Every structure is written in structure tokens, then in C-alpha cells.
Amino acid sequence: MNNSRRALVLDAARSVFERLGNEGASIREIARQAGYTPGAIYSYFDNKEAIYGALLAESLERLNAVVDAAGDATMQPAELLDAKASAWFGFYAANPRDLDLGFYLVQGMRSRELTAELNEQLNDRLHDALQPCEAALRAMGLNAEDALRENTSLFAHGVGLLLLQHTGRIHMFGQDAVILFDAYLISLVERLYRDASPA
Amino acid sequence: MNNSRRALVLDAARSVFERLGNEGASIREIARQAGYTPGAIYSYFDNKEAIYGALLAESLERLNAVVDAAGDATMQPAELLDAKASAWFGFYAANPRDLDLGFYLVQGMRSRELTAELNEQLNDRLHDALQPCEAALRAMGLNAEDALRENTSLFAHGVGLLLLQHTGRIHMFGQDAVILFDAYLISLVERLYRDASPA
Amino acid sequence: MNNSRRALVLDAARSVFERLGNEGASIREIARQAGYTPGAIYSYFDNKEAIYGALLAESLERLNAVVDAAGDATMQPAELLDAKASAWFGFYAANPRDLDLGFYLVQGMRSRELTAELNEQLNDRLHDALQPCEAALRAMGLNAEDALRENTSLFAHGVGLLLLQHTGRIHMFGQDAVILFDAYLISLVERLYRDASPA
Amino acid sequence: MNNSRRALVLDAARSVFERLGNEGASIREIARQAGYTPGAIYSYFDNKEAIYGALLAESLERLNAVVDAAGDATMQPAELLDAKASAWFGFYAANPRDLDLGFYLVQGMRSRELTAELNEQLNDRLHDALQPCEAALRAMGLNAEDALRENTSLFAHGVGLLLLQHTGRIHMFGQDAVILFDAYLISLVERLYRDASPA
DNA sequence: AATGAATGAGCCTTCATTCAT
DNA sequence: CATGAATGAAGGCTCATTCAT
């Protein structure tokens, strides 16, 4: 199974997903885009879902790469939190197509259902990308439970902002997602400091 | 255009939508449920999108009814903020299908093409539902700009939590959306008080 | 659901089954033959299998009509046996297309599998067509068990001959199915008489 | 054309055919089973039909081997008839897949188009397997014509029973194919004896 | 207003076969 | 001899929509 040609199909798939969304992306269309007949696609992927899975997996790898590269060892925990959180948020803010992919994972794929195995594997990679924030929160003195809670809230806040931004709803409010996310981070850090050092 | 029969079709659509979800809801099925043949549906709605639009409009009416009924005139601004915010959040937390409806328009993070007119009308009603929170924020002393910003953040936070909850992702974190939303509200109010009264 | 048009589709299906056999008979082809597009077929039948079921059901009705009309009340049991058996055998010998249909029931449909309900119903009609022979055997003095056994053998013999005839294999032997079937019947009656009256 | 590798492909074909039946057996699957890619199969066989032809030819060889091994020189003609007939009948009763193979050529009661040459060759081998019964009948005193007629009837009877058994229809009658075949043989021998020695 | 029939485009997938390498 | 890639045709089926009646 020639890997470069598989990649070619995957590129076509990505572009079709971009252009037509998850529902509009058909095997026919992907094949057309790749310059193949539909049957040829099945040399590279077992079925439509596998294509989506591969696309998402690859997106999550890029996300993790960005998160891993963010910050450095010399940083204070609060700085690191900011760096790591801004990394994942920034990745999706800058790459709406990856957001699309991620959203299918989170929203649309309930019915079609990825194989349980793939689903778990993808969940794990998402988890990986969020883990550094949780570690930074712990380094700031939070216990495991609190760190998890704050990290979940942080993730939810980012997700909400990304959704509002990507759908243009945020303009309705005359706001900017990045600024609001930064503000949330600042408030969070302040609150944690205050809670940590009650005179 | 007999209005009571149109309502009958809409009821059928809602029930089908509840039963089969966004993708499973077909004109055929809606017609069957309504006791009509597919063609008859087109006497009442121009096309499938229009049915969704009507459904969503009606959902937003119910949302506004819930928000309007929340709180009362005797409340302190902070209490009112809590009441109003909990109203819209609770509405969607308790009625996942209404959330689906809302997300339908946003499917794949890409806004669906409704007629500009309908779109604006729907936006306005969503705005209406969020307005009371903004008013409460102003009553707490925030200027217009700050109130808008905080309200947007609040909305984004809720949306993010609802999405994580609705897709089951929040269980991945072992958290509960309602609790996290309450916590956000508490933090918010605390912060506003502190900012308002710097000793 | 206009019944005459349903019949038109069924006619087309019959002709396609005749022409192309069970495996070659596709919905597309049936539609083409009927002057319809494929989707239209589904207004009249739930799926491909239902078409086959309807075709077979109708064939079995004709078979039963022929068997019912055979013989008369004045006949001796042995004469009646001959009349009834010759009726079902003759029906299939003269209508190879009905034999085709029946054979799909008996041979080809294992995988596709008609719905259990339909299958049972069709089995019952086949049973009906064979029942008169069994009744005649009983009237000739056989007990229930023996009558059933002899009727089964008679059926098997006829089926074997029909298969050899229809596939042309019987020419390989220079024989004729009808003659051999008659010979079997004569032998059978002789044997039963002898067994019944062992001087 | 390496013959041992061709045999390897044929083995794979047989095993796939056994596992998945007539309709489920694809070139892809046969290749997979043989450890080849689909294209490689065409080095050994012109097309799919040719594989079936080879499979059937080989099946007929096994049938003939079984028939040849049945009975022995010391037997009375009647015993030999029983032995030889039970041999071919027993072979198919015990090896339903070989029966499938035989029926494959006859699918839908319509002879498949093999090359005339192959078809004739297969017919000859089938003939070979039935010949010993005919010889035994002659040894019992029948003239050529009668022996051929009885042998044809015997074959038809067996074929009918095998078909009813293989498709499960015989259970509908609560009967057993082997018992009925034996009964037929006994009746046949009795009849021949009686016809031969009319007191 | 409603029906019933039909369309046409589309869906995912399978498969025997071909052919350059 | 064998591969790997690809084709092209077909398969059953679904669906929003149209339109004469």
C-alpha cells in the first residue's frame, strides 16, 4: 500500500471536508478530487469513517506538536499554563479546519460512530494535548481534583469561544475570541494566587 | 395557509426530530408522523430548511419564555444575574434537542444558509434571551462595554460546557456541566464585587 | 398505492427474472423494463426481496389453482392421486419459469432469506399444493405416517425429474420427464395395492 | 504454468467456497486465502468461471473415486446396484459443498455457460459415476433400454432427495433423505425381481 | 390543500478484471 | 510469476423535491 498515494487521498479528503463539511464529503467527491474512481479509494481506506479517522488523527498529532513546543522549562507554572493553554487555543483559532475536524469528533460523529478503538485512541490524543495545562495547574499548587476541574473549565471556555468565533456569532457581540480567552486566563491565574495566599 | 395545520406539521417535525435526530429526520418521516404524504408538507413549508428554521424559532421562543420567567423584581442584581444565566443554561442543559437545533445551524462549524431575514430574526431572539444577563451586569455597576464583554464570556463558557456535556465528553473529565457553570457564576460575581470595591 | 401499476412492476420483474435469473435481476433492470427509474420501484415494494416474494406467491397461487381443478369427486383414490400429482408436476413441466421461481425459494434464497413470515406463508402454499396427493394416499388405505413418506418421495421424484429436464440433463439420458413421472406413479399405485392386499 | 501452485490456488478456492458458499466466494478472497494478490490468480485461471470449472472437475473425480471403490466383485448384481447407488448418493449427502458445486452450474435452473468442451468433459465424468449402476441393472437382467430408464429414474430420485435435504425442505415433511433413498432402492429391486420372475 | 407517483441525483460499497512494473 | 493500483460497472437503497390531478 503505497503510502504517498494514501497521503494523496488523504489530502483530497481534507480538502473535500474543508469545502463541503462532514455531511457533504462523499467518497465520490473525495475520489474525484484525488483524480480517482470511487472504488480506488477502498485500496487505501476500509470505509468512509476510516478516512475521517485518519484525518482527525493527523490533526491531533499536529495539535500535540504545537502544544509540546509551547513554553519552556525555565517558565514559572503560571507562565507555563498560559503558554500551553494559548497553544491549544491558538492552534484551533488559527486552523479552523482542524476545528471542524475536532468538532465532528465532539459533535457529529455520534451516529456514525468511529470504531470504539479509534475513538478511544483519538480521545487519548486530545487528552494529551490538554494534559500540560493540568500539570501546570498542579505545579501552581492545586490538588489533583481542583486541577482537573479548572482544566475542564478552561477547556470548555476555550471551546465555547472557538465555536462563537468560528461561526461568526462572536461578531454579534463585537468581541474577539483571543482577547476573551486571554482575559479568562488572567482572571484564572489571579484567582488561583489569591486562593493560594489568603493573608 | 391554514395555520393550525401548519402547527400540526411542525409538531410532527419536532417529534420526528426528537426521535431520530438531525440526520434521521426526513420529510417522508415528518409527513408520515403528521398523517400526510410528503408532497403535502410543501403546502406549509418551502423546503426542509424552512422547517428547521421554524422549529428553531419556536425553540427560541420557549427559551425566552424561560428566561423571562426567571428571577423577580425584588432580587439583587447579582442574584438576578444568577437567575437569568441559570435560566438559559438550564434550558439547554435540560433540553438537549433544543441544543441540537441550535447546533444544527452551526453544523460543522459552518453556518447554514438560511435566508438572511430568518437568520437575523433568530439572532435577535437569541440576543433577547441573553439580554437580561447583560442588564444585570450593568445593574451591578459595569459600564456598557464591560457588561457586553462579560456577557459574551459567560455565554461562551456556557456554550462550551453544554457542548462538552451534550457530547458526553465531559464525563471524560469526570465533571458536571451544571456544577461548573455555577462555579463560573460565583467566581464572576466575586470578581466583579472585588473590582467594584477596591478597598 | 395504485394496484395496476404495482402489477406492471411485477410483470416487469417477472420478465427480468425470466431473462436474467435471480442473480441477474437487479432493481435497476426491473425499473428499466417497467419504464421507471429505480427509486420508483420502492413505491410499490419495500425491497428487492419483497418483489421476489410477490412473484413467488403469485406463482404458487396459480399452482394451487391448477391442482385444485384437477380430478373430480367421482374418481377412485388411485385415479385422484394420479390426477393431483400430474397436476403439480405438469404445471412445473409446462411452466419452467415458475419452476425457476420455486427453485430460488428452494435453493437460492438461503442467504438473502425472505422474512420468516413470508417464507412460512409460501411454504404453506406449497404444502397446500401437495396435500391433495397425501389425502389420496390416505384414501388408498395408508396410515398418516406412510402417506407422508410416500408423498415426500413422490415430490422428490418429481423435483428430480423436473431439474434434470429443465437443465437439459435428461436428454443426456435420452429420456422424457413426463413419461418417467407417469411410470413412477404407476409403480407406486401397483406397490400400494400389492401391499394392501397380500393374498 | 507451475502446476503445484495452481493446485495451491485451487485449494484456496475450495476452502473459500466451503467457508463462504457460492455467492460469497470472490477472487479477492480466494487470492487472500492463497496468499496472493488478486491479479496473480489470473496467471493460473482465465477467469472465475474457470476456477469453478476446475473445482467441479475435481469434485467429480472424487465422486468417481468413491463410486469406483464401492462394492466388490463378489457381490450379487442387486447388492452391487445398492452399493454403487449408495456411493454416489452418499457422497453428495455427506458433502453438501460438492452438491453446491454441482448446482452452481445449474443455478436458477439455467445452465451456466461453460465452454462446450469443459461442459462435455464434466458431463462425461458424471456419466462415469452413474454407469456402474446401469451396469448392475443390466446384470440383473434388464435390457439396455430398461436399464437406462431405471438408472435415469434412480438418479432423478436421488437428485430430488438431495435437493430437498440440502435446502432443508425435507424437514418440512419430517423425513430423512437417506432413509427414503434406501427405500426407493429396495422397492426398485423388488420390482425388478418380480418383473423378472412372473410366476 | 393534498395526493400519489415519479424523478434524478446521490449514497457507500463490492467486484472481476486489466495492466504497467 | 506476481504485485499493486486502478477501473468501470454495477449493486441496493434513500431522499428532497416536483407536479399533474
Q: So what's the pLDDT on residue C66?
A: 98
* Closest among C70, C56, C142, C135 to C103, alpha carbons compared: C56
Question: Residue D112: its pLDDT value, please?
Answer: 60
Q: What is the pLDDT of residues B11-57, one digit of tens each?
A: 999 999 988 887 789 999 999 999 999 999 999 999 998 999 899 99
Question: In which band, very low, low, confident or very high, does the pLDDT at C109 lie, cut at 50, 70 and 90?
Answer: very low
Residue C119 or B59, more confident: B59
Q: Above pLDDT 70, what percent of chain A? A: 93
pLDDT band at residue A118, thresholds of 50, 70 and 90?
confident
Task: Give yes or no for residue B107 having a pLDDT over 80.
Answer: no
Q: Give every residue of chain D whose pLDDT is below 70, as ranges.
A: 1, 104-114, 198-199
Put simply, whether D103 touches C (Cβ < 8 Å) is yes
Residue C107: is its pLDDT beyond 70? no
Give φ, ψ of A114 to 5 degrees: -65, 160
Hits for CB < 7 Å against strand E across C residues 8-67: 35-40, 43
Say how far D112 CA is from E8 C1', in Å.
Answer: 36
Which 30-89 positions of D have CB less than 7 A from strand F? 31, 35-40, 43-44
pLDDT at C20: 87
pLDDT given at position D179? 97
D-chain residues within 8 Å CB-CB of C114? none
Q: What is the pLDDT of residue D198?
A: 63
Q: What is the pLDDT of residue A198?
A: 65
pLDDT one-digit tens code per residue, D45-63: 999 989 988 999 999 999 9
Whether the beta carbon of B28 falls within 7 A of nucleic chain F: the reply is yes
Nearest partner of B127 among B155, B104, B158, B108, judged by Cα: B155
Under 8 Å CB pairs connecting chains C and D tally to 118
Q: Which three cell numbers stand for residue C128?
A: 397446500
Nucleotides of F under 7 A from a protein CB: 1-20
Angle between helical axes of D177-196 and D144-166 (0-180°, round to 10): 160
Mean pLDDT of chain A: 91
Instruction: Name the pLDDT band for B199 (thresholds 50, 70, 90).
Output: low
Q: How confident is the model at residue B108 (pLDDT cuts 50, 70, 90)?
A: very low
Query: Residue at minimal CA–C1' distance from E9?
Result: C39
- Looking at the predicted structure, is the pLDDT value of residue C110 above 50? no
Which chain C residues contact residue D174 at CB under 8 A? 148
Q: Using an 8 Å Cβ cutoff, are C139 and C80 in contact? A: yes
pLDDT at C172 over 90: no
CA distance between the termini of chain C: 65
Tell me, what amino acid is at B118? L
What integer pLDDT is reported at residue B105 of this predicted model? Answer: 65
**Regarding the domain delimited by C48-196, which CATH topology (the fold level of the hierarchy) does it fall under?**
Tetracycline Repressor; domain 2 (1.10.357)
Predicted pLDDT of residue D140: 96
- Cβ of C37 under 8 Å from any chain D Cβ? no
- Nucleotide with minimal C1' distance from the CA of D5 is F1
Checking if the pLDDT of A111 tops 50, the result is no
pLDDT of A36 over the 90 cut? yes
Question: What is the C-alpha radius of gyration for chain B, rounded to an integer number of angstroms?
Answer: 19
Q: Report yes or no: D64 and D122 within 8 Å, Cβ to Cβ.
A: no
**C1'-nearest nucleotide to the CA of C31:** E6
pLDDT at C1: 64
Check residues B116 and C56 and name the one with the higher pLDDT: C56
Residue C11: pLDDT above 80?
A: yes
- Banded model confidence at residue C183, pLDDT cuts 50, 70, 90: very high
User: Residue D108's pLDDT is what?
Assistant: 46
Spatial CA neighbour of B114 closest among B42, B57, B31: B57
Minimal Cβ distance to B163: which of A159, A172, A191: A159
Q: What is the mean pLDDT of residues B115-121?
A: 80
Among the ranges given (B88-102, C62-76, D98-112), the one the predictor scored with the smallest mean pLDDT: D98-112
Query: Which residue places its CA closest to the C1' of nucleotide F2?
Result: D40
Residues 140-169 of C with CB under 7 A from strand F: none
Domain ranges of chain D: 1-45, 48-196
CATH code of B1-45, in short, is: 1.10.10.60
Contact call for residues B157 and B184 (beta carbons, < 8 A): yes
Residue of C106 and C16 predicted with greater confidence: C16
